[in-house]
Amino acid sequence: MSEFLKIANKKFKSRLFMGTSRYPNQQIMLDSLEAGKTEVVTVAIRRISLKKYNENIIDILKKKYFILPNTAGCYTVKEAVLTAELAREALKTNFVKLEVIGNEDDLLPDIENLLPAARELVKKKFNVLPYCNDDPVVCKKLEDIGCSAVMPLAAPIGSGLGIQNKNNIEFIVRQSNVPVIIDAGVGTASDVAIAMELGCDGVLLNTAVAEAEEPTLMAKAMAEAINAGRNAFLAGRMPKRLFAKRSTTNKGRINIVKKN
């Protein structure tokens, strides 16, 4: 398998994608991105100003990272498409992380609107990375539409619950011909390692680092978990068994004869 993660026409060595919100301050955010060794950072277009005043966050980030704009906060097809178009004009990129949310309570994807939004953006020559449910049927439909990757959730956004449905994620990985990137719900390094052990191509996270007691240290742990999980997947784990299997044979075993 390739050392690089290829999405559309881009290649990335790091398989850890990181968000840029909810950090205590901007310096901690920058330090955490550095510690995570990420190459791709996501930015919510609806939450930032793209006006050119002094040096904004975009100016700072684009010096070192590939910026993946997302449509966070969009609830309709029209909102999501317009936000993506604004991002393309401002950032000069065809890449977009597509989010179409159903409501503010659970922040789960609205699949009824996500599919047509993805279809429209693909027609407009975007490289679409859709945030979606851990549903193999939905992921396959998004791939068939022409999305450049699929991004099933592990658990609800910001929950930190980790992967709730390993079977579905593994099924999505097996059937997909595009990269599978876990998006939302990881809470710690073991969650990231599990995602990679299941065969995922990458993990996108934000809150797990931003709200850690030591964000920079947690980012370092996440980077190490990506590598450990990826290596474990490539190595191929031992089969699971219902019963014990001894690691040594009976050859040379010392038999002690009991005296009556």
Catalytic residue among 97, 125, 245, 259: 97
Unique residue bearing structure tokens 């980012």? 219
Active site residue 258: no
Residues recognised as catalytic? 97
